[in-house]
Structure 1
Amino acid sequence: MKYQKLFTPVKVGSITIKNRFAMAPMGPLGLADANGGWNQRGIDYYTERAKGGTGLIITGVTFMDNIVEKQDPSTVPNPNYKPVQFVKTSREMTERIHAYGSKIFLQMSAGFGRVTIPTNVGDIPPIAPSAIQHRWLDKTCRPITVDEIHMIVKQFGDGAFHAKRAGFDGIQIHAVHEGYLMDQFAISMFNLREDEYGGSLENRLRFAREVVEEIKNRCGEDFPVTLRFSVKSMIKDWRVGALPGEEFEEKGRDVEEGLEAARLLEAYGYDALDTDVGTYDAWWWNHPPMYQEKGLYRDYCKMVKDVVKIPVFCAGRMDNPDMALEAIEQGVCDVIELGRPLLADPDYCNKVRSSRVEQIRPCISCQEGCMGRVAEYSLINCAVNPQAARERVTAYEPILAPKKVLIIGGGVAGCEAARVLAIRGHKPELFEKGSRLGGNLIPGGAPEFKEDDIELANWYACELDRLKVAVHLNKEIKKDDVLKNEYDTVIVATGSTPKVFSLGDDEHVYTASQVLLKEKDCGDTTVVVGGGLVGCETALWLAQHGKKVTIVEAMDKIMAVNGPLCHANKDMLEALLPFNNIDIVTSAKVTGYQDGKLSVTIDGKVTAIPSDSVILSVGYKEEDSLYHELEFDVPEIYLLGDAKKVSNIMYGIWDAFEVANHI
């Protein structure tokens, strides 16, 4: 079997993991009960990934401090808040996970410090190693005292003791990574202390050393303790991160110090290093959007692997099994971590093991359902998998009798509805007027950095074929076609159409879709009218292909109407535009296009922008006319996707799942 080496055992400390896959830690927002334990959603969520073949489950971050940086216990679990409740709920989870031959580590946090997210932790006084600037708030942090450090260290020991009693196989410490509190101590930019916790690298790592020593003292030397570790910070300045390929002076931890830190952390007793790069000031490194390349941490993991003898974990868009296999074979790392890919498909590992790679539902790195919802609503979910972290409440509903269901439209909403209906035992029949399934995924996936949008469209085509759904391409359905056939249910998912308006010389005015699909050539210079997500991504793609691009936006900033976008995605895209020499004009009104010049009014003054073409990216309009023609003639009819309301991929899929699961 091609991927057999990915399914060889590996030791981490005293335990053996059955394969080379671990579930990367992702904040378990929405998975805690009010008493610091796990709720049923959390138990089901992690168990489902063990059932799917993952060798090691690493929980998202849990807090154990109840004194210094208090957290609401319903935000994420806390083994020290009510230990009996934590052990009781954890025991149910660990026993179920062990039934599948998987191991599970509890990730425990020293705290957030200067990077506390206000929507998650409330209005608490932000702490830090020193009196430094907060990442999000216009506040100066309060320096933490030595006694408070000692209290946190002791609570690590208490929490690890309860975790071991609850059946966890080990601990992951959060973290000398991403600029969290323990990492703030380790980075000289943030640590201005003059006591035993500041100054030299050894002093700045003292906090991390005391934590592993405390846990080993309380739980035994053979109880594994791993560390989330960022080998390089990627900080240009306060709140300013570096872009891939950019030359800059590292203000945080550079690679040389990172490798020395790795050696020290191994010497202190850590059993593995879970390695990446970045900080909250450069958030698009730790939470890589689609604009980052696949496997972006591999070079850094190999550097760490070359200087330590303990296992090295590698995450960071490692969802390609061929890339994962190569990383193991070439000694880049010992364990492949999958975070968002396991949100998208909990059966990823079993599908790789059984050579069903084409059945893996792809993560599209949009971060809408995961990081976006974590930051805005304290919930972790997945845009492409509506069942993620909702496994029990979204289980497939049994049916009494199969229904014949007509689905009009083969975008994500139509495809998801057909998939769910077929799994449940109904008889869906799908008609798409175009030549392929996917709808707006096809133009949206044209840029190289959006390749996973195309993969999602291909996955739907593969799944509908595997489920034997009747799919008819190049067939537009009219009202009479619906009424003359005997369907029990009709789903209208006819999508949307780009908004357009005349600018005068419309022969050289195109929609973003036309340019993305290469139906129109924009020339060497072009102006994108509309600075939303589609407009900005179109502009970036064109600039990366050598075009001179200007974005003109009517509002006072770009991407103002898109949201909530994950900060990592939005901030990186905003930084990439000027980095790729894209001019941005805001608070501007487009008035006409003639003789190769676009007239733009800014503050009452008209400016002419020379361009070979104009690309309109000013939104989409619901195409719901067929639904309104049918709504009083069909007893059971539903309107889904952009035809219902122009939105994003996530809500198109989620709404379709909800409706199709209850027909």
Structure 2
Amino acid sequence: MEGEIDNMNPCAFPLLFSPLQVGSMTVKNRIFMSAMSTALCDGQNQVTEEALAYYSARARGGVGLITTENVMIDENSHYNIPNNMGLYRDDQIPGIRRLADEVHKYGAKLALQLLHGGPAATARLNGGRQPVAASAIPLRNVGEMPRAMTVEEIHAFTHKMGQAARRAREAGVDAVEIHAAHRHGVLGTFLSPLSNKRVDDYGGSVDGRLRFLLEVIAEVRRTAGEDYPIIVRMSMTEFEPGGQSMLDAIYIARRLEKAGVSLLNLSNGTLETYWKTVTPNGTPRGVNTELSKQIKDAVSIPVGVIGRNCEPWAAEQVLELGRTDAVYMARALLCDPEFPNKAREGRVEEIRPCIGCTDCITHVHGAQIRCTMNPYAGRETVVVTPVPAPKKILVIGGGAAGLQAAATAARRGCRVRLVEESTGLGGQMVLAGIPIAKHDITQGTQYLIRQARRAGVELCCGVRADEALIRAEAPDAVIVATGGKPVIPGFLREAKQLVSAWDVLAGKVTTGQNIVVIGGGAVGCETAEFLVHPQNDRKPNGKHVTVIEMMDNLMKEDRSYARSLLVRRMQEKGCEILVDTKVESVKGDAVTYSHQGQSVTLTGVDTVVCALGVRPSNELTELVAELGIPVYTAGDALKTGRIYEAITSGEALGAGI
């Protein structure tokens, strides 16, 4: 119940809301917004009204320092998305000045992240030019072969970084952040022993690999001024054999301090260990802070650290433990720009939680930023207005789409009643939070329920919507959000025990010991891992799970950063994985499949789990229409999809009805 949630008071986070001195800059609190690509600037890399609104919302929300998305230092330094922010010409200064002025209105500080895309850039976005890096070593998950930069190009790059910093200061920006992390920007490739194989002065030992970055820092100091704050973003470790170690990182940090850096923004991993760089759901809170403490103890300048610092208690605790001086977060502020204000005012239960789905990251390449939980992320210029006259709205279905639609309609002044046939709210979003490492989703479900209650929605569980109920309600409009039903092909019904993955996760069925999961999408893989014994120790009574997928790989449509971790856990736990495999028949305890022209029969299968997706369940839409009542359909009842589609479709109906 909402009343049982501890309403934390403002003094619960005294360290989080204490000021921090970063060089010559005083930041009002320790919540620092990390850089995140938005694609909200225009084709000339100029700041747009949409970009201004995006950053303004976060400044107004109470954050101490905002770091912008990566800023181009020349016209051919596009990162791997279009519409980057640019500061490679003087005529881009006015737009940046507008941004700085907007952020300063709310007492926040602004830092521009200077980044050249390096091997993460593409020829397509940079006039056909081949990407550049320390050496001709590609990022294996990007694909384009870079060429090694010449010494002349290194000097030209250094000059351009200095000029970008000079323009930033002229625009009223408080600091610059030099990106040298993750082995994907130019400077990151020089720092890493995995990507820097040079034998000139810019390679070899850690001093050689560090030389380019130190020259850039010196040039920024020369052009922007000795007192201008410089932040460096760096990885601590790379989590790959032969990669940067913590001993390397401590040495680099000390050299950067000696060079005059004002603050270290500490991250981890590379684009090839991206679950360490953008940590997905299931990752512990403050995941990088034990490592950051080693850096903090080795230097006297302040350090900040990123990595699931996405709840106020966690952010406060890592500060209290002395693991960091500033708490960086990006997705938490994308999800709820008012996070700092709500935490400071003791309204913790009102914070819209980041569920760690990484949908924001995986969908920004080629399109503007978005957030599963926040329908207005990247759309801050949109205004939702009250209804001109109150309407009586009936929402059928208490999943993500129904709850979002109901809450928004109620906030606009409608009288809203939501009916849900089951005894609880949340729909398939409840099930989505049950698999291993998906617990963060439960907080998202709780939030949706709370916001509906807070908006004044009448929530009625255990109520089946039928013609009699709809007639009795006599609503002005009906929103059907009844979700979807599992797809179960008829030929599976001869199995000894046939269950759906959804019933497994809901705890409605008990499975046997030898299980075949048909369908290797996200639901099938998550269910398989949920069922298999936690340790691959050949335990006599442990469950053996086989996953069969027709396509040539598991979860081919899943671009989330949790995918690799899930597949690795399945393999470590002993899940048998069959891809490019078609189930031919199921009879009793026998499952026959074909693979590469060979037919194989598995025997002793006591449970078949079907995970072949869902289809819309929207029979009530037609019924309501026949009654002459305006009817709208949302979520899986309209078209099956992810949580993002459910929430955004519900919001669209609630805001437009």
Q: TM-score, normalised by structure 1?
A: 0.92
Q: Within 2, Cα distance between the matches of 1:113 and 1:358?
A: 42
Which of 50, 53, 68 lines up with 1:41 in the alignment?
50
For each residue in 1:607-654, what CA deviation from the matched residue of structure 2 results, as whole angstroms up to 9, or x when unmatched? 215444221111101101111222243342111100001111111111
Which of 427, 451, 462 lines up with 2:439 in the alignment?
451
Are the aligned partners of 1:71 and 1:121 in contact in 2 as well (CA < 8 Å)? Answer: no
Are the aligned partners of 1:505 and 1:594 in contact in 2 as well (CA < 8 Å)? Answer: yes
Which of 552, 558, 563 lines up with 1:556 in the alignment?
552
Task: Note closer, same or farther for the CA distance 1:2–1:72 as it changes in structure 2 (3 Å cut).
Answer: closer
Shift of 1:498: 1.1
Task: Note closer, same or farther for the CA distance 1:123–1:420 as it changes in structure 2 (3 Å cut).
Answer: farther
Q: Within 1, Cα distance between the matches of 2:593 and 2:102?
A: 63
For each residue in 1:502-549, what CA deviation from the matched residue of structure 2 results, as whole angstroms up to 9, or x when unmatched? 535545221112211222222343221100111111222333635432
Task: Note closer, same or farther for the CA distance 1:363–1:117 as it changes in structure 2 (3 Å cut).
Answer: farther
**SS of residue in 2 equivalent to 1:205:** helix
For each residue in 1:245-289, what CA deviation from the matched residue of structure 2 results, as whole angstroms up to 9, or x when unmatched? xxxxx2211222122111112112211111121011211110112
User: Which residue pairs with 1:132 in the alignment?
Assistant: 137
**SS of residue in 2 equivalent to 1:491:** strand
Are the aligned partners of 1:60 and 1:107 in contact in 2 as well (CA < 8 Å)? Answer: yes
Q: Within 1, Cα distance between the matches of 2:374 and 2:81?
A: 27
Which of 300, 306, 310 lines up with 2:301 in the alignment?
310
For each residue in 1:407-441, what CA deviation from the matched residue of structure 2 results, as whole angstroms up to 9, or x when unmatched? 00011110110111122222221111112211101
Which of 340, 343, 364 lines up with 1:374 in the alignment?
364
User: Which residue pairs with 1:226 in the alignment?
Assistant: 231
User: Is 1:570 equivalent to 2:559 in the alignment?
Assistant: no
Are the aligned partners of 2:82 and 2:125 in contact in 1 as well (CA < 8 Å)? Answer: no
User: Which residue pairs with 2:4 in the alignment?
Assistant: none
User: Is 1:588 equivalent to 2:588 in the alignment?
Assistant: no
Q: Within 1, Cα distance between the matches of 2:183 and 2:137?
A: 16
Which of 94, 102, 106 lines up with 1:96 in the alignment?
102
Q: Within 2, Cα distance between the matches of 1:648 and 1:72?
A: 25
Are the aligned partners of 1:20 and 1:335 in contact in 2 as well (CA < 8 Å)? Answer: yes
Q: Within 2, Cα distance between the matches of 1:538 and 1:178?
A: 34
Unaligned runs of 5+ residues in structure 1 are 236-249
Shift of 1:291: 4.3
Which of 332, 343, 346 lines up with 1:355 in the alignment?
346
Are the aligned partners of 1:290 and 1:364 in contact in 2 as well (CA < 8 Å)? Answer: yes
User: Which residue pairs with 1:25 in the alignment?
Assistant: 35
User: Which residue pairs with 1:516 in the alignment?
Assistant: 505
Q: Within 1, Cα distance between the matches of 2:152 and 2:372?
A: 43
User: Is 1:53 equivalent to 2:62 in the alignment?
Assistant: yes
Which of 328, 331, 334 lines up with 1:340 in the alignment?
331
User: Which residue pairs with 1:189 in the alignment?
Assistant: 194
Q: Within 1, Cα distance between the matches of 2:301 and 2:124?
A: 37
**SS of residue in 2 equivalent to 1:202:** helix
Task: Note closer, same or farther for the CA distance 1:134–1:506 as it changes in structure 2 (3 Å cut).
Answer: closer
Shift of 1:15: 1.0
Q: Within 1, Cα distance between the matches of 2:166 and 2:65?
A: 20
Q: Within 1, Cα distance between the matches of 2:591 and 2:649?
A: 40
User: Which residue pairs with 2:206 in the alignment?
Assistant: 201
Shift of 1:594: 5.0
Are the aligned partners of 1:35 and 1:74 in contact in 2 as well (CA < 8 Å)? Answer: no
User: Which residue pairs with 2:649 in the alignment?
Assistant: 655
Shift of 1:213: 1.1
User: Which residue pairs with 2:521 in the alignment?
Assistant: 532
Query: How many residues matched?
Result: 638
Q: Within 2, Cα distance between the matches of 1:585 and 1:202?
A: 48
For each residue in 1:298-335, what CA deviation from the matched residue of structure 2 results, as whole angstroms up to 9, or x when unmatched? 12111111111111112111112222111000101011
Moved more, 466-475 or 608-617: 608-617
Task: Note closer, same or farther for the CA distance 1:401–1:316 as it changes in structure 2 (3 Å cut).
Answer: same
Q: What RMSD, in angstroms, separates the aligned Cα atoms of the two structures?
A: 2.1
Task: Note closer, same or farther for the CA distance 1:47–1:285 as it changes in structure 2 (3 Å cut).
Answer: same
Which of 451, 456, 459 lines up with 1:471 in the alignment?
459
User: Which residue pairs with 2:273 in the alignment?
Assistant: 282
Q: Within 2, Cα distance between the matches of 1:105 and 1:197?
A: 28
Shift of 1:570: 3.1
User: Which residue pairs with 1:598 in the alignment?
Assistant: 591
- Counterpart of 2:118, as a letter, is G
- Counterpart of 1:571, as a letter, is S
**SS of residue in 1 equivalent to 2:298:** coil
Shift of 1:134: 4.3
User: Is 1:75 equivalent to 2:109 in the alignment?
Assistant: no
User: Which residue pairs with 1:623 in the alignment?
Assistant: 617
Task: Note closer, same or farther for the CA distance 1:473–1:142 as it changes in structure 2 (3 Å cut).
Answer: same
Task: Note closer, same or farther for the CA distance 1:272–1:180 as it changes in structure 2 (3 Å cut).
Answer: same
Are the aligned partners of 1:115 and 1:135 in contact in 2 as well (CA < 8 Å)? Answer: no
Are the aligned partners of 2:268 and 2:277 in contact in 1 as well (CA < 8 Å)? Answer: yes
- Counterpart of 1:62, as a letter, is V
Are the aligned partners of 1:291 and 1:573 in contact in 2 as well (CA < 8 Å)? Answer: no
For each residue in 1:450-478, what CA deviation from the matched residue of structure 2 results, as whole angstroms up to 9, or x when unmatched? 11211111111111121221110111101
Are the aligned partners of 1:177 and 1:228 in contact in 2 as well (CA < 8 Å)? Answer: no
Task: Note closer, same or farther for the CA distance 1:290–1:480 as it changes in structure 2 (3 Å cut).
Answer: same
For each residue in 1:474-512, what CA deviation from the matched residue of structure 2 results, as whole angstroms up to 9, or x when unmatched? 111012321333211110011011112453554522111
User: Which residue pairs with 1:242 in the alignment?
Assistant: none
**SS of residue in 2 equivalent to 1:405:** strand
Q: Within 2, Cα distance between the matches of 1:501 and 1:134?
A: 41
Are the aligned partners of 1:494 and 1:623 in contact in 2 as well (CA < 8 Å)? Answer: yes
Are the aligned partners of 2:78 and 2:84 in contact in 1 as well (CA < 8 Å)? Answer: no
For each residue in 1:570-591, what CA deviation from the matched residue of structure 2 results, as whole angstroms up to 9, or x when unmatched? 3333333323322111222324
User: Which residue pairs with 1:498 in the alignment?
Assistant: 486
Shift of 1:100: 1.1
Task: Note closer, same or farther for the CA distance 1:118–1:28 as it changes in structure 2 (3 Å cut).
Answer: farther
Q: Within 1, Cα distance between the matches of 2:32 and 2:43?
A: 28
Moved more, 347-356 or 605-614: 605-614
- Counterpart of 1:196, as a letter, is D
Task: Note closer, same or farther for the CA distance 1:278–1:228 as it changes in structure 2 (3 Å cut).
Answer: same
User: Is 1:637 equivalent to 2:655 in the alignment?
Assistant: no
User: Which residue pairs with 2:427 in the alignment?
Assistant: 439
Determine what percentage of the aligned residue pairs are the same residue: 33
- Counterpart of 2:499, as a letter, is Y
Q: TM-score, normalised by structure 2?
A: 0.93
Q: Within 2, Cα distance between the matches of 1:315 and 1:5?
A: 17
**SS of residue in 2 equivalent to 1:6:** coil
For each residue in 1:10-59, what CA deviation from the matched residue of structure 2 results, as whole angstroms up to 9, or x when unmatched? 11111111111011111132x21233221111111111011111111111
User: Which residue pairs with 1:63 in the alignment?
Assistant: 72
Are the aligned partners of 2:130 and 2:145 in contact in 1 as well (CA < 8 Å)? Answer: no
For each residue in 1:331-379, what CA deviation from the matched residue of structure 2 results, as whole angstroms up to 9, or x when unmatched? 01011111111111111111111111111111111122x112112x232
User: Is 1:105 equivalent to 2:114 in the alignment?
Assistant: no
User: Which residue pairs with 1:607 in the alignment?
Assistant: 601
Task: Note closer, same or farther for the CA distance 1:294–1:469 as it changes in structure 2 (3 Å cut).
Answer: same
User: Which residue pairs with 2:385 in the alignment?
Assistant: 397
Which of 210, 214, 219 lines up with 2:219 in the alignment?
214
User: Which residue pairs with 1:238 in the alignment?
Assistant: none
